[in-house]
Structure 1
Amino acid sequence: MRVAGFLLHVIATVAASNMMSPQAPELISNLDFGIAAPDDIFWLEAIKHQGKAAYNPDPSYQVFRNVKDFGAKGDGVADDSAAIKITPAIVYFPRGTYVVSKAIIAYYYTQLIGDPKDRPILRATSNFTDLAVIDADPYIPGGNTQWYQNQNNFFRSVRNFIIDVRLVPATASGTCLHWQVAQATSLMNIAFYMSDAPNTAHQGIWMENGSGGFMGDLDFHGGKFGMWVGNQQFTVRNITISDAQTAIMGVWGWGWTYQGVTINNCSVGFDLLGGVGAEAIIDATVSDTPIFVRSAASSNGSLVGSLVLNNIKLNNVSTAVGVVGGEDVLCGAPNTTITIDSWVQGNVYTGSNPTGVFTQNNIAAPAMPCSLLNPAGQIFGRTHPQYADYHVSQFVSARDHGATGDGKTDDTAAIKTIFLKYGTSKIIFFDAGTYIVTSTITIPAGARVVGEAWSVISGAGPAFQDQNKPQVVVRVGEPGSRGVVEITDIIFSTVGPAPGAIVVEWNVKEIKQGSAGTWDTHIRLGGAAGTNLEIEQCLPIVAGKDASGCMAAFMALHLTRDSSAYLEGMWVWLADHTLDEDGASQLTIFSGRAEHHTLYQYQLLNAKEHYMGLIQTETPYYQPIPETPLPYPFSITSKYGDPEFPSDITMAWALVVRSSREIVVFGANLYSFYSNYSQDCLATRNCQNQILNVSGDSSVYIYSLATVASTFQVSVDGAGVVDQKDNNNGFASTVTVWRPNGA
């Protein structure tokens, strides 16, 4: 089994560190948050495109492709299917109506982007028979084989479209989007139009499996299903579904978090089949829908699925939670408005008490800090900035100012000059490419940075070689700084070996909610072309083999003590297999701190006021290494607050929370799939002993915790408390709520 870890949606208002930072002046971008110089043409369409695929042997390879340059008409008449079938890149759709009779393929490492100023329409013809208008993982005719392994279907984004299948006959399976994907994938700003016929078979999103992912700012109209979804885990934010038979059909999953859901005039809101493990629904408004949530089977005092409802407003809803063919679990109120503050179904644990209490009832909700809430009292969210109302003159190209992005040239001096000259007055556009830096570069408070098809900034060279003297590759804000920082569509990386690299150090503190953050921005270590951490260097090791040549980083992401960050759709991944060579060969690469990492995947230390949902990760496949105890090949350093590892802890922590308060986790999927490269431990569900540790002096609420093959799901002060055998829920084990003593 192969899934990768990621950090999906985190609001961190005071971040984890034991390092004090001096105060620095507040820096606000000259662009501020206002609309500046509106223009009829979207800047991405107007800007000069000179991006490179740094390691593609074809020097003529074209990254940015406007579909009209390839023969698409967008006139609502001509069949544009053939013109749109082009290879991995940014595939850009100007405004218009594009008639399609065949599927548009969302290839690996491709972004399909429409004009956000006037979203293009993708309209299926009446004789459309393919699986979906946009297909992220096509089936090969004649069988069940697909183009991609669904758990490895990485790096795709679809944004700014109207997808219309209303011309497809109502009884045909008219699907807008087949989205069978994994990490580093996103959907945003899309409207789906299905048939209004009463017996329609149409659906907006069809997802049968995978290991995702993030989607948000979606609007569904009509159809049999707004979303028909099954995936190991997903985060969904800000969706509206109207006039569908079933708004969301959940067919399976280990953990899903829905945040900001509006459902209008549907027959059923959420229909959850038996394979759905942990479902968390937050900040939902449901109107004129007879059934809000319906499950396939009754729990009847035992664990059959886990459900968390928080801040739910029901208008004219007869059944709040029901069971197919059974009595209501939680009644609604027809022709009346009711609010569900906090209601759960599943096992609830408190502190160090090893005995959970099966609960189908209201429970007390944590007091959420104001810093995490919007004015309506909901979890704050902010849409991926696209600068639709900014003129192309407000952007400056990195390549136009001396940076090459060719994956070989040292671009450090050029990038430093660009930020010094334009960092707070222009939006910095990193043309597609891989930019090598050999010393720390600083993105100043006040900066906005935009990539093109995930431009890469990669640390390389002697500065990042010493794990005893770690150096930062990319510093976001000077220590103590405050202001606006927005980073979109960038990958941060290293060229190995780099055992002393802190890939991203985040120092800036927001000046208003969401003013400092990243969207569709990732940290990727190894496994990709140009990283020097591929098959040639890092095939799986055996005990005693020197690991120094395959050390990718000291730490992936460090949020320092006084910083704050809004991180949406961020995947922090240390490669366990290749991406660009054969896409499958297993690798052993070492990094100290973050996903697949040696010591821990997430640590909150002296932190406060964090919202995390949904977080997912897995521990390293190579651990435990026989006769080589943790923290090999790294050492414990108190400067960065590393946890100690007693002899009985032989594998990395997935989540460590120490001396932290006002922490709320809405969805955590923490997996252990291997023991020293063997998966025999899955059969006995004991690939490792402990996986999540909370210190007794921390105030943490954890909802919808799903673990795989860890004997203890929750530990307190290093002692296992919650035994997975009491929470087995299919392949995963599920804790509905864990809360601190006194809660």
Structure 2
Amino acid sequence: MKLLVSCLCVILSLAAHAHAYWYANIHHNGISPTIPNGDNWTVFRNVRDYGAKGDGVTDDTVAIQRAIDTGDASGSRASGKSFGMTGQPAVVYFPAGTYAVKSTVTNRVGTILLGDPTDRPTIKATADFSGTYLLVGHDPREPGGECCVPDGARCQGHTGVATPGQCTQLLYNDLEIEGGGVGIHLSVTQVHLKGISFKNVLTGVEIASAVHVTAQKMNFTGGSVGIDTTSGGCELLNLIDSSASNTSVLVKAPVASTAPTVQNSLVLENVIVDTTVASTVQAGQTTAFTGSTEPGTAWIHGHVYTNETSETQPLSAPAGKVVPVVRPATLVDKTGAYHTIVQPTYSEYNLSQVVNVKDVPEHPVKGDGLTDDAANIQAILDVSVDKIVYFPYGIYLLGDTVVVPPGSRLVGEAFTQLSATGSRFKDARHLRPMLQIGKPGDIGVAQLQDFVFTVNDALPGAVLVEVNMAGVQPGDVSFFFCNFRMAGARGSQLWKNCSDAKTCLAARLAAHLTTTSSSYWEHTWAWSADLDLDGASGSVLASPGGGFLIEATRGTWLLGLGVEHHVLYQVNINSAQNVFVGLMEAETSHWQGNGTALYPPSPWAADSTPLLNSDPDFKWCAPSSAQCRMGLYQIVRNSSDIFLYSQGWWTFIMGPARTFCSADCQDNGAWYEGNKRLFVFGLDTINVKNLVLEGTGPTSLAATVTHADNRGAVHDVFNTAIVAAYLKQV
């Protein structure tokens, strides 16, 4: 179970501009529609308005905490849970300055901490600082592990970012860490690290516990160790498109285990070191690998499946194996690295270039969770090309498709909700997108950030986001911190009316990336509710059909992707080309499995809810085989140039009774068929019997990669399987 709401987000820019940042000065009229008197809720909080000085001398701890904790007349955000997890949106804004704090600052659920990107602020511990952490990015009233920055009690010097609990993040992106003992300390299930530089840090990344980690575009300079996995708790690490200099050891790993389990698997691809790096990989006190892995090659330690090996026994490569990797030009930059971009802040725009959708008199938009805003939002988008369109926090009901035209830049606030509603999305035989990014053949810019896409009712004909557009450059069509949520929260009729999996057909698809599209995504969670976030009684048994359907051919990049609890599959890559997935996390529907009376593809196989041509029909399973008839985590069929890293699939709970798994309680993870140049670096599962099915059609599928052959260590009492690389369809 992963939540979309307990996150700490700090948005910074490397560039400085003379004019004031538009977001600080725009009309802030966001509301919280799901709580009493929510029209008066304060979303935007400038810490200066709460007494902070930012002069580097005054203790601003109390003022900053006040800005975070202020609720309304009914009470503080720090006490009780009357607002629910989704009813207390907040952006705490830091103008330029240095904010001195003498004790720990604690963030709250649903809160973004935002600095002025035109003149970045600093939060500084005073000389007499008291506490272990400067900033805690987890609301202690909510379940889950803490995520903190920095930690002054570890190693020699400070830790930049620490996850001392068992965190479940998807992505840390575009950070600069200088000095200290440890840059990032990880105790996680999974995480994607992207675009992080470490300068003069003793140990860049210390991994205490993780099933898998992707580290992409990392740069280590002037430290002792780049990444330390010697605790033995890191089951798989993908290090790609990275570099090191003046660093003694790039990856410090434990001695290879002689136990009959797969542990400490490692993939290095396009990793460049100079002659100052004595050991690229050091196992114990022994150098296991030196030099670089140039573009076009990968060095792999762990179990590797290729066409040269038996179908039932993996190749154990404790000394490492070098394999060729051919990346298509579409996916990479001139250095051979996968394209990445930094989330835009639009700090180059001035206030006159920004449109607040709630401040256009001729097209009134409410965002109140009651009014259908589709027509007026469409009218505003059509006349706001090449401007920033700002959506203050609210719930914007969309009773019809809204088309996002080329030249659009949409900015939400504290995860603004766009919610499908009404009869136009009810017919499962005629699918309709809520948000349509361009029309087939469109070329241009369409960038969205900080939204939640959701549904107001059971809408079996709804596709929440359909992407048709491609850009001139990678990232022209992009989504940053845009998440999906079906049921499980206030603001939807499904909040208290989603207890029957047969009827709670929340949506048909979360996202459809069509053949003509090219898009770039960072931190995306497509979550179908397995629990209630806001305190309604009863179980949540939502049954959306599929998660991400990817049929794009022109270049797709997904970094930090989580897809959970969809009936048929979580991700389906169908007849696609040129797809990069840096990390994927997934879970099946908790109502599936032993004890269920509803076997997939039901409830999506009736005349009124037909399957799509790309959907699995589960004909390889016996009619009432509960553990076989569970939503697949991943399908890749008839596709080419597909590059998948750190694919993690977790079956923690199964069946209507929500029984915790103590053994393999799902039969199958992925179905791979008819592909060319399919590179999978890192397949990790929890409680899944067969990692990969192969065959020439549903009735001929057979398991070729199994848990029994790839046993990993126990992680949080659950059984894991680890495969370093699957290369049987290259």
TM range, smaller chain: 0.7 to 0.9
Q: Per-residue displacement from partner, 1:489-542 (whole Å, max 9, x unpaired)?
A: 1111111121111111111112111111101111111111112222x2124x5x
Is 1:486 matched with 2:455?
A: no
**Which of 69, 76, 98 is residue 56 of structure 2 equivalent to?**
76
Deviation of 1:354 after TM superposition, in Å, equals 2.0
In 2, are the aligned partners of 1:297 and 1:304 still within 8 Å (CA)?
no
**Which of 253, 256, 279 is residue 319 of structure 1 equivalent to?**
279
Is 1:206 matched with 2:162?
A: yes
**Partner AA of 1:382 in structure 2:** I
**Which of 219, 230, 233 is residue 275 of structure 1 equivalent to?**
233
Aligned to 1:608: 577
Unaligned runs of 5+ in 1: 7-34, 139-145, 166-171, 176-198
**Which of 470, 476, 485 is residue 515 of structure 1 equivalent to?**
476
Which of 355-364 and 621-630 deviates more?
A: 621-630
**Partner AA of 1:323 in structure 2:** A
Q: Superposition pairs for residues 420-499 of structure 1, below 5 Å?
A: 420-422=382-384, 424-499=385-460
Deviation of 1:680 after TM superposition, in Å, equals 5.7
Is 1:289 matched with 2:290?
A: no
**Which of 43, 47, 54 is residue 26 of structure 2 equivalent to?**
47
SS in 1 for 2:127: coil
For 2:221 and 2:691, locate their aligned partners in 1 and report how far apart those are by CA, in whole Å. 38
In 2, are the aligned partners of 1:483 and 1:510 still within 8 Å (CA)?
yes
**Partner AA of 2:382 in structure 1:** L
**Partner AA of 2:688 in structure 1:** S
Aligned to 1:361: 320
**Which of 291, 295, 301 is residue 345 of structure 1 equivalent to?**
301
For 1:512 and 1:450, locate their aligned partners in 2 and report how far apart those are by CA, in whole Å. 20
Deviation of 1:72 after TM superposition, in Å, equals 0.5
For 2:498 and 2:669, locate their aligned partners in 1 and report how far apart those are by CA, in whole Å. 26
Aligned to 1:107: 108
Deviation of 1:293 after TM superposition, in Å, equals 1.1
Aligned to 1:11: none
SS in 1 for 2:567: coil
Q: Superposition pairs for residues 515-554 of structure 1, below 5 Å?
A: 515-534=476-495, 536-539=496-499, 541=500, 547-548=502-503, 550-554=504-508
Deviation of 1:38 after TM superposition, in Å, equals 5.9
SS in 2 for 1:133: strand
Aligned to 1:149: 143
SS in 1 for 2:237: strand
Deviation of 1:373 after TM superposition, in Å, equals 0.9
For 2:61 and 2:533, locate their aligned partners in 1 and report how far apart those are by CA, in whole Å. 29
**Which of 719, 722, 730 is residue 702 of structure 2 equivalent to?**
719
**Partner AA of 1:269 in structure 2:** G
**Partner AA of 2:614 in structure 1:** G
For 1:471 and 1:277, locate their aligned partners in 2 and report how far apart those are by CA, in whole Å. 41
SS in 1 for 2:497: helix
Judged with a 3 Å threshold, the aligned counterparts in structure 2 of structure 1 residues 36 and 701 are, in CA distance, closer, same or farther, namely closer
Q: Superposition pairs for residues 54-69 of structure 1, below 5 Å?
A: 54-58=33-37, 59-69=39-49
**Partner AA of 1:218 in structure 2:** L
Q: Per-residue displacement from partner, 1:246-275 (whole Å, max 9, x unpaired)?
A: 111110101110100100111111110211
SS in 1 for 2:336: coil
Q: Aligned pair count?
A: 653
Deviation of 1:300 after TM superposition, in Å, equals 5.2
Q: Superposition pairs for residues 389-428 of structure 1, below 5 Å?
A: 389-401=348-360, 402-422=364-384, 424-428=385-389
Judged with a 3 Å threshold, the aligned counterparts in structure 2 of structure 1 residues 113 and 479 are, in CA distance, closer, same or farther, namely same
SS in 2 for 1:399: helix
Q: TM-score, normalised by structure 2?
A: 0.85
Aligned to 1:733: 721
Aligned to 1:555: 509
Judged with a 3 Å threshold, the aligned counterparts in structure 2 of structure 1 residues 106 and 374 are, in CA distance, closer, same or farther, namely farther
Aligned to 1:378: 337
Judged with a 3 Å threshold, the aligned counterparts in structure 2 of structure 1 residues 342 and 301 are, in CA distance, closer, same or farther, namely farther
**Partner AA of 1:525 in structure 2:** M
**Partner AA of 2:348 in structure 1:** D
For 1:135 and 1:598, locate their aligned partners in 2 and report how far apart those are by CA, in whole Å. 36
For 2:3 and 2:566, locate their aligned partners in 1 and report how far apart those are by CA, in whole Å. 12
Judged with a 3 Å threshold, the aligned counterparts in structure 2 of structure 1 residues 681 and 46 are, in CA distance, closer, same or farther, namely closer
Is 1:329 matched with 2:283?
A: no
For 1:642 and 1:323, locate their aligned partners in 2 and report how far apart those are by CA, in whole Å. 44
For 1:452 and 1:89, locate their aligned partners in 2 and report how far apart those are by CA, in whole Å. 8
Aligned to 1:629: 599
In 1, are the aligned partners of 2:50 and 2:63 still within 8 Å (CA)?
yes
In 2, are the aligned partners of 1:348 and 1:356 still within 8 Å (CA)?
yes
Deviation of 1:304 after TM superposition, in Å, equals 2.5
SS in 2 for 1:229: strand
For 2:656 and 2:331, locate their aligned partners in 1 and report how far apart those are by CA, in whole Å. 40
SS in 2 for 1:371: helix
Judged with a 3 Å threshold, the aligned counterparts in structure 2 of structure 1 residues 563 and 284 are, in CA distance, closer, same or farther, namely same
Q: Per-residue displacement from partner, 1:261-314 (whole Å, max 9, x unpaired)?
A: 100111111110211111100011111111111123323596321111111111
Deviation of 1:389 after TM superposition, in Å, equals 1.3
Deviation of 1:652 after TM superposition, in Å, equals 0.6
SS in 2 for 1:463: helix
Q: Per-residue displacement from partner, 1:634-666 (whole Å, max 9, x unpaired)?
A: 127465521221134411110001100000001
For 2:538 and 2:130, locate their aligned partners in 1 and report how far apart those are by CA, in whole Å. 36
For 1:5 and 1:637, locate their aligned partners in 2 and report how far apart those are by CA, in whole Å. 30
**Partner AA of 1:589 in structure 2:** A
In 2, are the aligned partners of 1:657 and 1:698 still within 8 Å (CA)?
no
Q: Per-residue displacement from partner, 1:539-588 (whole Å, max 9, x unpaired)?
A: 4x5xxxx732x221011100111111101111111111111226x96411
Structure with the bigger RCO (C-alpha within 8 Å, sep 6+) is 1
Which of 48-57 and 607-616 deviates more?
A: 48-57
- Over the aligned positions, Cα root-mean-square deviation in angstroms equals 2.4
For 1:532 and 1:329, locate their aligned partners in 2 and report how far apart those are by CA, in whole Å. 57
Judged with a 3 Å threshold, the aligned counterparts in structure 2 of structure 1 residues 394 and 441 are, in CA distance, closer, same or farther, namely same
Deviation of 1:54 after TM superposition, in Å, equals 1.5
Judged with a 3 Å threshold, the aligned counterparts in structure 2 of structure 1 residues 612 and 74 are, in CA distance, closer, same or farther, namely same
SS in 2 for 1:457: strand
Judged with a 3 Å threshold, the aligned counterparts in structure 2 of structure 1 residues 37 and 96 are, in CA distance, closer, same or farther, namely closer
Is 1:125 matched with 2:98?
A: no
In 1, are the aligned partners of 2:16 and 2:117 still within 8 Å (CA)?
no
Judged with a 3 Å threshold, the aligned counterparts in structure 2 of structure 1 residues 221 and 697 are, in CA distance, closer, same or farther, namely closer
Aligned to 2:77: none
For 1:714 and 1:5, locate their aligned partners in 2 and report how far apart those are by CA, in whole Å. 29
Deviation of 1:679 after TM superposition, in Å, equals 6.4
Q: TM-score, normalised by structure 1?
A: 0.84
**Partner AA of 2:160 in structure 1:** G
Aligned to 1:13: none
Judged with a 3 Å threshold, the aligned counterparts in structure 2 of structure 1 residues 626 and 37 are, in CA distance, closer, same or farther, namely closer
In 1, are the aligned partners of 2:651 and 2:666 still within 8 Å (CA)?
yes
Deviation of 1:5 after TM superposition, in Å, equals 9.7
Aligned to 1:587: 540
Is 1:92 matched with 2:93?
A: yes
In 2, are the aligned partners of 1:36 and 1:390 still within 8 Å (CA)?
no
SS in 1 for 2:132: coil
For 2:528 and 2:411, locate their aligned partners in 1 and report how far apart those are by CA, in whole Å. 23
SS in 1 for 2:703: strand
Q: Per-residue displacement from partner, 1:3-30 (whole Å, max 9, x unpaired)?
A: 4699xxxxxxxxxxxxxxxxxxxxxxxx
In 2, are the aligned partners of 1:212 and 1:233 still within 8 Å (CA)?
yes
Q: Superposition pairs for residues 614-693 of structure 1, below 5 Å?
A: 614-624=583-593, 626-635=596-605, 637=610, 639=612, 641-646=614-619, 647-648=621-622, 649-677=628-656, 682-684=661-663, 686-693=664-671
In 2, are the aligned partners of 1:673 and 1:679 still within 8 Å (CA)?
no
In 1, are the aligned partners of 2:17 and 2:119 still within 8 Å (CA)?
no
